[in-house]
Structure 1
Amino acid sequence: MTGNRAFRVAATGARVLTGAVVAGACVVGVAFGVTATWPTVVHEPAQAQVTPLPGDTVLVCNGDLRAVGRDPSNPLEMVSAATPELTVEGSSGRPESSPLLARDLADGGAALRLVGIVDGRQAPLLGATESASLAEADLSGLAAAPCRPPSIESWLVGGTVATGTEDLIVLTNPGVVPSTVSLGVYGSVRASSTVIVPAESQVALPLTSIAAGSDFPIVKVTATGAPVRAVLQSSLTRTLDPAGIDLQDAVPAAQRQPVLPGIEVFENQGDNADMAVLRLMSPEVDSDAVVRVSEVGSSTVVDEFTVPLTADLPTELSLSALSPGSYTMSIESDNPVLAGVRQQDGAGPQDDFAWVTPAPELEDDIYMAVPSGPNPRLVLVNREDADAVVQVASAPGGEPTAVTVPAGSSVSVDVKPRTVYSISTPTPVHASVTMAAAGELAVWPIWPAAGAQQSITVYP
């Protein structure tokens, strides 16, 4: 009996000891498991890189220049002052064209819609620009603008309602349905208006009809129903003498680092304060914009200053400190800004003026059209840390010329009027075309190819 009890005690002790060991092992295992890296199961989603089929390349030209008030009995009537000359070429031949009627012109007129038909999976490159030179009793000077795709949203930066000016907002709808266009005016006076642009047509309205009393008005153009092409036609009269015309292309959006190539500063016998003027605005938020100006062909900054900007309030500054010459301007801001430079070649009658707007970044192949006009030059700006080699050739099939744009600098290249060029650059650059002669001044940015399709990632 005593032996059995001793055996039972020993067995029970063994079981307790074993349980304690097992329990301790479990505790250690749990503690280790919590701190250890657990195995994971990862399922990579199926994906594929797909390049959408490109559509036809569609460009919209500006059409007839307009004159207002030539009939004293009807001072608001618009008539055609000139039909511009078009220079156009495409990589697959001359594009198809069709008229977009300007129904509000008393004597008729039209803009052109240019269509480059897609070939397989390749959208054709198109280069098209219009220009017109006038020497009339009420309008004189040179105006030029590229043909561009329509857009849903854009900005017109260089408007004015000052005495002696006549600015017209020209809206062209190449689509097959009407477009409802909202115009929002930013300036010392805020205003808005809505315009219906019928399908396949063009309308225009005076800037004074929506921006009267506003200093330095900037107009936001928003289209619904169909995208539109927006252009600002400007003219200036001093006393009774015409003093310039301009066609200003719309800016797609505000930018953090806009680049403005092709600024010309001219000598003037009197006050130089108005020979070159910078206009800036920061939409929605306050910003500080740092402005740097360099001569074309040099990386040296000749002028640098900071401009504090109040949200939604345009401001202007004179560039009178600059000596006569050719310049490029770069702007850096903590928030996207809108920018433009107004330049003029004199302060008397028979002079001309032009607005310089930001040039977008170019990379890859494009077509560029140089229309009729005096002394055309291509200005290339390279903001990268390495030199850029840009191939420039007359299109189609011309022998290319290699143009080296040093890092952080710019160059100017003479080009021929009424010629279309192909430009190829593997390094990002910015570019504008300028034309200048006595009483004739025009400048416009070069845009990336329309209709190019980027690859997208598809997750089935």
Structure 2
Amino acid sequence: MSDDQKNGVERTTDHGKPRTESAKAPKPSKERAGSRRSSNKGIVTGVLSAVVILAAGGGAVAAAGMVPGPSGGTNLEARQADVPAGRSLGVCPEPARLVTGTEVGTDAQFSPVSTTATSALNAVVLSTPAGTVPGSGITALGGKNVAEIAKAPTSTPSPTPGPPVLAAAAASVSPVDSPTVVGADPIGNEKASLSANLSYSATDGDLRGLAAAQCQQPGNDAWLLGSNTALGRTAVLNLSNASETPATVNLDLFGHQGQIQAPGARGLLIAPGTTRSVNLAGLAPNESELAVHLRSTGGPVAGTIQQSVLRGLVPGGVDFLSPGAAPSNLQVMTGVDIQDAAALKALGGKSGFSDAVPALQLAVPGSTDAVVQVKLYGANGERQLPNGGVVTVKGGTVTSLDLDGVPAGSYTVTASSDVSFVASTRIARGAKAESPTDFAWSPSSARLGSQHLVAVPRSGQRFFSFGVPEGRASVSYAPVTADGKVGKSVDIDISGGTTSLIELPATADGAAVAGFVVSASGDPVYGAMLLGTKDRADVSVLAIQDAAAGLEKVPVTVGY
């Protein structure tokens, strides 16, 4: 048994064979030998020439010595240097898979989920203001082509005066059986606006429920909250490397009692074009509140946790846990849709159902305790929480605050402290212990700006949830159809201290809706997409991602 197997780490699955090269160097030919002699001769000549130049320049050096030199270093004015725009990438996880035959300290093994499991990848790419759609496509993690979104344009015309003329391209792939990468080329030194997500659904089996995840931009630092490795709970961390550089990942694990020392969480090698799965129960067993801090060196990685619950023989739901906002003094989560308070409170009081109620989870990375003020904003304003919504979180630990006493409705949750922390909110569906239930996690997100592109699943119920903690704001959203048209936008005005839940149409102008272009103005607005299935306990939440960055500049200072 390997060291990785002893520490609860799954084997690496390659999606492409590495190329090997011969270690033997070719013998130099006569021409090469002659070139080497000629080169050596040039070096000798260069040295002699340098001696002559130094001798001739001695007078100049002496003359320069009579001129007073500068008293110290001189800094020139900082100039802004253009940073070339890179290719937009989104790494999508594979659909949920059932973990079987796994014991603590062994590799995770997977089996088919059920006969009803379905999966789909939905992607949308937005054009430039001149209407040019960038070349884009979907590939397997190992590089094999899966689908084309848009062909590379033959020309890139400049925008004409007046309002932008937007177009788009969309693609949907179903079923999906492995991790994929969605990519779009830059145009005019600006990154393409790209959005994609993976959705999974099943009506039977242990992984019954709905799970969805945004296809995320790879990075080197991320926090994932909501993991649970207690009895009947399974958490598998999937790490994907879409770059051409090997990545080494270190995991910092935090539980209710503090940081967890797990030797197998260090030095996880992720080869290019591969995914590595880590059974978190092998690193931190019996942890009902587990936060994972992911750090990588070398290539950037995308990390998602497949979390599932099984209470005896009754499925308790499945979800993909995605990274939220970085540690900060303020964290905001929306899309928090709460069911009947009395039914949830009764369910949460039953044995094994403590995680079947809505809750806010907080983790403090440092050693300083954080006093966190929590507030909830619904359709009619702020809702009061027990104890005034104040909770103390010890440094280096994870704490949860149950929201089972909150009246039914859609909410935005804000948490603030003078100490940096991370946060995520759990949503629960189903109120009967003998029936299947489901859950979802809404990670903290950044405030909305202009022109966020949001891909949407082609089936099920879809809602936008917009929250404005303070002040007043306006939000507009325009549908993007599967045939590449951007429709007329809908404008809404949102009062401060409230949350608006908007059901999204399945079609626009007779075509299927593939996504939306969302923009916000005024005071800070936060948004998410709430997903569900009619007459089922399915639920999932997708935070709205940042808009594509334009031409970036970095300051460059030259001095001596």
Compared with structure 1, are the counterparts of its residues 204 and 247 closer, same or farther at alpha carbon in structure 2 (3 Å cutoff)? same
Q: Work out the CA distance in 1 between the residues paired with 2:85 and 2:464.
A: 29
Q: Work out the CA distance in 1 between the residues paired with 2:420 and 2:542.
A: 21
Q: Name the structure 2 match of 1:392.
A: 477
**Corresponding residue to 1:377 among 458, 463, 479:** 463
Tell me the alpha carbon deviations over residues 231-285 of structure 1, each in whole angstroms, 9 at most, x when there is no partner: 1111111111222110110124212111110112223272446411221121112
Whether the 8 Å CA contact 1:258–1:332 is kept in 2: the answer is yes
Q: Name the structure 2 match of 1:312.
A: 396
Matches within 5 A, 1:120-269: 120-187=188-255, 188=257, 190-192=260-262, 193-194=265-266, 195-267=268-340, 268=343
Classify the secondary structure of the residue corresponding to 1:127. Answer: strand
Tell me the alpha carbon deviations over residues 154-177 of structure 1, each in whole angstroms, 9 at most, x when there is no partner: 111100111111111011110112
Tell me the alpha carbon deviations over residues 357-400 of structure 1, each in whole angstroms, 9 at most, x when there is no partner: 11211212110011145321111122453x32222101242111
Matched, 1:54 2:70: no
Whether the 8 Å CA contact 1:168–1:204 is kept in 2: the answer is yes
Q: Name the structure 1 match of 2:525.
A: 429
Matches within 5 A, 1:16-95: 45-69=76-100, 76-81=108-113, 84-92=119-127, 93=133, 95=136
Instruction: Name the amino acid aligned to 1:446.
Output: I
Q: Work out the CA distance in 2 between the residues paired with 1:277 and 1:373.
A: 28
Deviation of 1:223 (Å): 0.7
Deviation of 1:307 (Å): 0.8
Q: Name the structure 2 match of 1:22.
A: none
Q: Name the structure 2 match of 1:415.
A: 504
Q: Name the structure 2 match of 1:34.
A: none
Q: Work out the CA distance in 1 between the residues paired with 2:205 and 2:261.
A: 33
Deviation of 1:116 (Å): 0.8
Deviation of 1:130 (Å): 1.3
Deviation of 1:151 (Å): 0.9
Q: Work out the CA distance in 2 between the residues paired with 1:205 and 1:452.
A: 36
**Rg (Cα) greater in structure:** 1
Compared with structure 1, are the counterparts of its residues 426 and 298 closer, same or farther at alpha carbon in structure 2 (3 Å cutoff)? same
Instruction: Name the amino acid aligned to 2:520.
Output: T
Whether the 8 Å CA contact 1:69–1:75 is kept in 2: the answer is no
Deviation of 1:190 (Å): 0.8
Q: Work out the CA distance in 1 between the residues paired with 2:222 and 2:75.
A: 40
Higher mean alpha-carbon deviation, 183-192 vs 434-443, is at 183-192
Q: Work out the CA distance in 1 between the residues paired with 2:338 and 2:469.
A: 22
Q: Work out the CA distance in 1 between the residues paired with 2:442 and 2:324.
A: 11
Whether the 8 Å CA contact 2:324–2:424 is kept in 1: the answer is no
Q: Work out the CA distance in 2 between the residues paired with 1:51 and 1:424.
A: 26
Tell me the alpha carbon deviations over residues 164-200 of structure 1, each in whole angstroms, 9 at most, x when there is no partner: 1111101111011221111111113612313211101
Deviation of 1:406 (Å): 2.1
Instruction: Name the amino acid aligned to 1:420.
Output: G
Please, what TM-score do these two structures have when normalized by structure 2?
A: 0.69
Q: Work out the CA distance in 2 between the residues paired with 1:234 and 1:404.
A: 36
Q: Work out the CA distance in 1 between the residues paired with 2:457 and 2:312.
A: 31
Deviation of 1:424 (Å): 2.0
Q: Work out the CA distance in 1 between the residues paired with 2:494 and 2:333.
A: 16
Matched, 1:290 2:373: yes
Q: Name the structure 2 match of 1:17.
A: none
Matched, 1:443 2:541: yes
Whether the 8 Å CA contact 1:137–1:241 is kept in 2: the answer is no
Q: Work out the CA distance in 2 between the residues paired with 1:97 and 1:445.
A: 22
Instruction: Name the amino acid aligned to 2:331.
Output: P
- Structure 1 segments of 4 or more deviating over 6 A? none
Q: Name the structure 1 match of 2:443.
A: 357
Q: Work out the CA distance in 1 between the residues paired with 2:376 and 2:470.
A: 16
Compared with structure 1, are the counterparts of its residues 76 and 353 closer, same or farther at alpha carbon in structure 2 (3 Å cutoff)? same
Please, what TM-score do these two structures have when normalized by structure 1?
A: 0.83
Higher mean alpha-carbon deviation, 262-271 vs 226-235, is at 262-271
Q: Name the structure 1 match of 2:138.
A: 97
Q: Work out the CA distance in 1 between the residues paired with 2:339 and 2:440.
A: 12
Compared with structure 1, are the counterparts of its residues 372 and 272 closer, same or farther at alpha carbon in structure 2 (3 Å cutoff)? farther
Q: Work out the CA distance in 1 between the residues paired with 2:464 and 2:142.
A: 33
> Pairwise CA RMSD of aligned residues?
2.6
Q: Work out the CA distance in 2 between the residues paired with 1:394 and 1:44.
A: 51
Whether the 8 Å CA contact 2:324–2:445 is kept in 1: the answer is no
